[in-house]
Amino acid sequence: MKAPVPNYELYGEKSRERPDFWLHCETIHARSSLYRWEIGLHRHERFFQILYIAGGSGDALFEKTVEQISSPAVITVPPGIGHGFRFSPDVDGFVFTVLASHLPISPGRSSRPGAWMAAPRLTPLGGSEDGRLATECEAGLSHRTVLLDAYLTTALVLTGRLAEGGDDEGAESENERRMERFDALLRQHYLTHRPAAFYARALGLSPTHFSRIVRAATGRSLHEVIAGKLVEEAKRQLLFTRGSVQQIGFRLGFGDPAYFSRFFLRRTGMTPRAWRTAERERLGA
């Protein structure tokens, strides 16, 4: 009888009922050296993994397929896929383990990036690729979480383009560029609570047309994506800062603390104070 493929959050560690992180980063050397450079076949039921191979070589096993690793390269593995690795002792790089529900692009969604992310990939890189993602991870500072998150999104999109042999001029590619520009605009302006029409106008589109593009790419409405960015930052500040709920609301552009609480409650089912208490208890903080 065939043995089941073990499920981990992080290789070799017992999975919890609820994960206690949404993004974990470590050097490939740190974990693989514990197992003599060989990571056995396993899967991550709830996590998407990105490996940035800066140096060294090896083999990647995806289910029953073996691919040779030559640096530099990026390896992406969606949730639930059995995979393993054999690295040379001089391997250099990082592995990012990301809660799949946190990804701005869902693997398997009906868009080109989503379809590309639905299968494991090994993508060779040229020598001039930007190393910003690895640099931010190496810094290891909690206040850079949002910046790292933005780089993570960019890295996935760019890796997908490299894997497909570059960009094309089709309508789908144009919509992807629009989504990238929207993501940059949203990171720049979300604290000022700009309406959906502002982002559509900045991209030269009608709100209705742009809303269709956003829903096709994310499965959510434009308003939900904008609100989601505020909720995401609210959660980060509630969990990782000591500011009061009122102070955090002011930082996020809410002049009325009661309105901030109603906004958060409507989108999470909990008040900010209750969410903070529950999360800190869950994490043992």
The band of 108, judged by pLDDT with boundaries at 50, 70 and 90, is low
Nearest partner of 185 among 197, 199, 174, judged by Cα: 199
Structure tokens at 143: 């206040």
Q: In sequence order, which residues have a C-beta less than 8 Å from that of residue 16 and are 6 or more positions away? A: 9
Give pLDDT tens digits for 54-102. Answer: 899 999 999 889 999 998 888 999 999 999 999 999 999 989 888 887 7
In the predicted structure, residue 140 carries a pLDDT above the cut 50: no
pTM for this one? Answer: 0.59
DSSP per residue over 191-221, as a string?
GGT--HHHHHHHTT--HHHHHHHHHHHHSS-
Phi/psi at 36 (5° precision): 55, 40
What is the SS3 assignment for 237?
helix
Structure tokens at 162: 């490299």
